[in-house]
Chains A and B, each alone.
Chain A
Amino acid sequence: MSTSVRRTELPLTVRTPTHEPRNRRRRSSPGRAPATKLFLILPSVVILILTNAYPIAYAAFQALHNGSLISPGEFVGVDNFAKVLADPAFWRAAGFTAVFAVAGVFGSWIIGIAIALLLRTRIPAKGLLKTILLLPWVVPIVVSAMSWNWLIGTSSSPVPTIIHALGFGDAIFLSDPLGAQITVCLFEIWVNFPFMMLMMSAALSSVDESIYEAAKIDGASARQQFRYMTLPIIAKPTYISWVLMAIFCVNDFPTVYLLTHGGPVGATNTLVVLAYKTVFQNFQTGPGVAIAFLMTLALAIVAVLLFRQIRKSTSQ
């Protein structure tokens, strides 16, 4: 038994010294080192500014004007924001965006971590399984959306046909508002769970198996090991993956647009789709860009909250 205890402590004590000198080196690095690093980062920063700063600044300009993509129009201050915030369609889209993001983040995370844990066990053809499981993430989203459309899009698609043949009536997933909402959320989970699986696999791979052995010896059940050991250990990468996935989901234009175009009757409009439609279908550039800015603000707040959780998880 004592052996097990030593095994438990081994990774904790062995790894610590390896970090200390590195930290010391980083703190005592000469003044030229940061400049060198800055110099190395500079090209990327310059390119980023050139390619993104101007469009963002111009978008801010457009959000405060009532022009079009071609002509700037008159300065209207925050009228576009007021107009957007008074529009029920905006709040419907905001609500569905929240649902879509929560479903996408937690749905893909639950499936991702479950599979990551499963892949830590002894199962045959693990490499092949991993490769297959990565496919939804690797395949271009346009191809995936077209495939789903082919499977469920019309009453004569394979899945509705089978359901009808089994006597369950007409199952037209994308024609019913609730059905369409559930479908796009499921699609989002399906496309993104491999990313979560990879993140969680990477996090779990750094955990030494011996601490689980020690826990087993102490009588911890599998559920308790997961609750009191696995989850706290992978907390930081989990929060980071949540932040990234939240950004992915909120900004995910192709999933909704390719599957439903935001329909039926706007039921699956997310903010990014609504912004696109406002600009390019209704030709209301100012309000459309205002939607994008409000979306960014909301996402930044979510990111702040999650980042606080990351800090908490590392400082406890």
Chain B
Amino acid sequence: MTTPAPVHTSKKEEAMKNLLPPTAMSRRGFLALTGAVTLTASVSACAVGGGNASASGGSTVKFWDMPWGDKNYSDAAQSLAQAYKPGDGMPGVSYQQVNWDGFNQTFSSAIASNTGPAVSTGGGFQAFQFAKQGAISYADNLIDSFKKDGTYDDFLPHTLDAMKTSDGYVGIPWNLDVQVFWYRKSILDQIGATPPQSWDDVLDVAKKASAKGYVGFGISGGSGNYGPMAVLSLMINNGGGLFNSNGDLDIVNDRNAEAVDFLTELVRQGVVDPGSVSMKDDDLTTLWTNKKVALGFQSPAFNNVVGDEKDVLVTDPLKSHRGEVGGLYYVNNIMMYKNTPSQAGSEAFTSYYIKNMKTLWQKGVMQGLPALKSITELPEFKANAQNTAVVEKWQPICKTTAAQSSALTAKLATIDGGQAMTDFCQTVLAGKTPSKTILTKLESDIKAAIS
């Protein structure tokens, strides 16, 4: 077969010109359009106008809240907020729930455009981050009023101190997210094991559970924060952490390496789900709910979340190879912003919310621990025996992300849930890299992120 005659070439070109509609767009016009479309799509997403939008709320204090508990939490929290009766001349309150997914973007964008809340809950270090950027209204006046009416003494130890900076209190503690170790009793009964008390026990029980087809040690390194929190829990458990007592980064040390080595050993022994590197937090919760997981770190009241109050139980704090105990916890707080129709109104509402939030635990909709001792003594709270174990055994020995320092700072907002910790956790769960190499990379990534 020969190549078609040149006549075809000319004809086809002619045909193409005639059959296809002629474009009226010039090269310059097309490029301008391309540039506009691309630039708009890519840059607008990152750009937030800093214009003078209308001030927050007008005559109401805008209260933004996160989903802190089960499916009934939102209604309970909204009812609590709406039951607030402002005093004479004080503004009322509007309630809005904000999803965790992309919450940093939601808050930052809103605050930048002056359309943000006057009062909010949020990430554990959010108040520090926004205080550094000049958006937070410090809570010192409110703390003083708590000292006068006795509320100050009701806070659990160290919780208020965690909110203190050189410029004042950035927020008011209201619930604690303590990373505690859970086990499923029915699985342990089936394999003839007792609840683990040490890292060696964890490995032993997890291997037995895996041999029966269960996930011995549940951890999720994909989206979300469960994985990084679990790894950091083990590091603090062994007396390590991200910082030294002076608040300087101190990641590449033997204590942290031992924790990473322990987790790597769990991976190599096959007791961790092979998909853990990319597993999402919700998928891990589903595995727990479906009774597939024997052991793992989770938040308080996790047994309520998986609907198995009697079978999913808390262990005692684990002893590391060094015989150390410890864990990770977050002091979640209510923060006030400068963008408010009335600072007195913001303080009045926050005071009301703290003093009446016990209803959230009485209704059983909360997952975190209350920051007030009086709530931990309520019969409704004690009805879940695991809550008592967390308060009495875990909370006193836990430290924050700042460990081994005690000072919370804005840089923790970058570290907690940031890319450095996610990459770190995923590398550990891949089980192929020496611990010191992983820790060195983490330190350099965190340095770059907070510089």
Give A residues with C-beta under 8 Å from B.
8-9, 11-12, 15-16, 19, 48, 52, 54-56, 58-59, 62, 68-72, 87, 149, 153-156, 160, 170, 172, 174-176, 180, 203, 206-208, 211, 215, 218-221, 224, 228-229, 232-233, 235-237, 243, 247, 250-251, 253, 260-266, 272, 275-277, 279-285, 288-289, 292-293, 295-296, 299-300, 303-304, 307, 311, 314, 316
Q: Is the CB of A156 within 8 A of B287?
A: yes
Q: Is the CB of B426 within 8 A of A55?
A: no
Interface of B is mostly: helix
> Nearest residue in A to B11 (C-beta to C-beta)?
A12
Report the separation of the CA atoms of residues A266 and B448 in the bound assembly, to the nearest whole angstrom: 15
Which of B144-152, B185-193, B413-421 interfaces with chain A? B413-421
Contact partner, A275, options B22, B42, B287, Cβ 8 Å: B42
Given the known inter-chain contacts A266-B423, A289-B47, please indicate yes or no for A229 contacting B8, CB distance below 8 A. Answer: yes
Q: Is the CB of A11 within 8 A of B19?
A: yes
Report the separation of the CA atoms of residues A262 and B4 in the bound assembly, to the nearest whole angstrom: 50
Contact partner, A16, options B18, B280, B417, Cβ 8 Å: B18
With both chains docked as a complex, state the minimum distance between the C-beta of B183 and any C-beta of chain A, in angstroms: 20
Which of B32-40, B89-97, B313-321 interfaces with chain A? B32-40
> Nearest residue in A to B111 (C-beta to C-beta)?
A70
Given the known inter-chain contacts A69-B108, A70-B111, A221-B1, please indicate yes or no for A247 contacting B19, CB distance below 8 A. Answer: no
Q: Is the CB of B133 within 8 A of A70?
A: yes
Given the known inter-chain contacts A56-B47, A155-B274, A289-B43, please indicate yes or no for A300 contacting B34, CB distance below 8 A. Answer: yes
Question: For chains A and B in complex, what number of residue pairs have CB atoms within 8 angstroms?
Answer: 240
Interface residues in B1-44 by Cβ distance below 8 A to A read 1-5, 8-9, 11-20, 22, 27, 30-31, 34-44
With both chains docked as a complex, state the minimum distance between the C-beta of B52 and any C-beta of chain A, in angstroms: 13
With both chains docked as a complex, state the minimum distance between the C-beta of B410 and any C-beta of chain A, in angstroms: 9
Contacts of A176 in B (CB 8 A): 277
Contacts of A211 in B (CB 8 A): 11-12, 15
Q: Is the CB of B104 within 8 A of A172?
A: no
Report the separation of the CA atoms of residues A243 and B221 in the bound assembly, to the nearest whole angstrom: 36
Q: Is the CB of B427 within 8 A of A71?
A: no
Give B residues with C-beta under 8 Å from A.
1-5, 8-9, 11-20, 22, 27, 30-31, 34-51, 102, 104-105, 108-109, 111-112, 129-130, 133-135, 221-223, 273-280, 283, 287, 292, 413-414, 417-419, 422-423, 426-427, 430, 448-449
Given the known inter-chain contacts A55-B49, A153-B283, A289-B43, please indicate yes or no for A175 contacting B38, CB distance below 8 A. Answer: no
Q: Is the CB of A8 within 8 A of B275?
A: no
Q: Is the CB of B36 within 8 A of A48?
A: yes
Q: Is the CB of B129 within 8 A of A283?
A: yes
Q: Is the CB of A172 within 8 A of B12?
A: no
Given the known inter-chain contacts A69-B112, A303-B34, please indicate yes or no for A280 contacting B104, CB distance below 8 A. Answer: yes
Q: Is the CB of B45 within 8 A of A215?
A: no
Contacts of A260 in B (CB 8 A): 222, 278
Contact partner, A70, options B36, B135, B223, B279, Cβ 8 Å: B135
Q: Is the CB of A58 within 8 A of B20?
A: no
Report the separation of the CA atoms of residues A70 and B410 in the bound assembly, to the nearest whole angstrom: 14
Q: What 7 pairs across the A-B complex have the smallest Cβ distances? A: A59-B47, A174-B278, A175-B277, A55-B47, A69-B108, A155-B275, A172-B275
Given the known inter-chain contacts A68-B108, A264-B278, A265-B427, please indicate yes or no for A300 contacting B19, CB distance below 8 A. Answer: no
Given the known inter-chain contacts A55-B47, A69-B48, please indicate yes or no for A282 contacting B419, CB distance below 8 A. Answer: yes
Report the separation of the CA atoms of residues A245 and B309 in the bound assembly, to the nearest whole angstrom: 51
Contacts of A314 in B (CB 8 A): 16-17
Contacts of B111 in A (CB 8 A): 69-70
Given the known inter-chain contacts A70-B112, A72-B50, A295-B42, please indicate yes or no for A175 contacting B275, CB distance below 8 A. Answer: yes
Q: Is the CB of A292 within 8 A of B4?
A: no
Given the known inter-chain contacts A58-B50, A87-B448, please indicate yes or no for A251 contacting B41, CB distance below 8 A. Answer: yes
A-B contact pairs, 30 of them (CB 8 A): A12-B11, A12-B15, A56-B39, A58-B48, A59-B44, A59-B46, A69-B111, A70-B134, A71-B133, A154-B287, A156-B287, A207-B15, A215-B8, A221-B1, A243-B34, A247-B37, A247-B38, A250-B38, A251-B41, A263-B278, A263-B422, A266-B419, A266-B423, A275-B46, A276-B45, A283-B108, A285-B46, A292-B42, A293-B39, A293-B43
Q: Is the CB of A282 within 8 A of B449?
A: yes
Q: Is the CB of B449 within 8 A of A284?
A: yes
Q: Is the CB of B1 within 8 A of A19?
A: no
Contact partner, A229, options B12, B133, B278, B417, Cβ 8 Å: B12
Contacts of B22 in A (CB 8 A): 19
With both chains docked as a complex, state the minimum distance between the C-beta of A159 and any C-beta of chain B, in angstroms: 12
With both chains docked as a complex, state the minimum distance between the C-beta of A26 and any C-beta of chain B, in angstroms: 8
Interface of A is mostly: helix
With both chains docked as a complex, state the minimum distance between the C-beta of B373 and any C-beta of chain A, in angstroms: 34
Given the known inter-chain contacts A206-B20, A264-B278, please indicate yes or no for A280 contacting B34, CB distance below 8 A. Answer: no
> Nearest residue in B to A314 (C-beta to C-beta)?
B17
Contacts of B16 in A (CB 8 A): 232-233, 235-236, 314
With both chains docked as a complex, state the minimum distance between the C-beta of B42 and any C-beta of chain A, in angstroms: 4
Contacts of A170 in B (CB 8 A): 274-275
With both chains docked as a complex, state the minimum distance between the C-beta of B85 and any C-beta of chain A, in angstroms: 33
Q: Is the CB of B31 within 8 A of A304?
A: yes
Q: Is the CB of B41 within 8 A of A55?
A: no
With contacts A263-B426, A265-B426, A293-B43 known, what are 16 further pairs, Cβ within 8 A?
A: A52-B36, A69-B48, A153-B283, A160-B275, A174-B277, A175-B430, A208-B19, A220-B4, A224-B1, A247-B37, A250-B42, A263-B278, A283-B108, A292-B42, A296-B42, A311-B27
Contacts of B109 in A (CB 8 A): 69
Report the separation of the CA atoms of residues A250 and B448 in the bound assembly, to the nearest whole angstrom: 25
Contacts of A229 in B (CB 8 A): 4, 8, 12
Contacts of A279 in B (CB 8 A): 46, 105
Q: Is the CB of A15 within 8 A of B108?
A: no
Q: Is the CB of B426 within 8 A of A233?
A: no
Q: Is the CB of A52 within 8 A of B31?
A: no
Contacts of B18 in A (CB 8 A): 11-12, 15-16, 19
Given the known inter-chain contacts A232-B16, A233-B19, please indicate yes or no for A265 contacting B11, CB distance below 8 A. Answer: no
Contact partner, A292, options B36, B45, B413, Cβ 8 Å: B45
Q: Is the CB of A220 within 8 A of B1?
A: yes
Report the separation of the CA atoms of residues A154 and B42 in the bound assembly, to the nearest whole angstrom: 31
With both chains docked as a complex, state the minimum distance between the C-beta of B22 and any C-beta of chain A, in angstroms: 7
Given the known inter-chain contacts A52-B36, A281-B418, please indicate yes or no for A292 contacting B1, CB distance below 8 A. Answer: no
Q: Is the CB of B46 within 8 A of A289?
A: yes
With both chains docked as a complex, state the minimum distance between the C-beta of B139 and any C-beta of chain A, in angstroms: 19
With both chains docked as a complex, state the minimum distance between the C-beta of A89 and any C-beta of chain B, in angstroms: 8
Q: Is the CB of B223 within 8 A of A292?
A: no
Q: Is the CB of B105 within 8 A of A280?
A: yes
With both chains docked as a complex, state the minimum distance between the C-beta of B133 and any C-beta of chain A, in angstroms: 4
Contacts of B35 in A (CB 8 A): 296, 300, 303
Q: Is the CB of B273 within 8 A of A55?
A: no
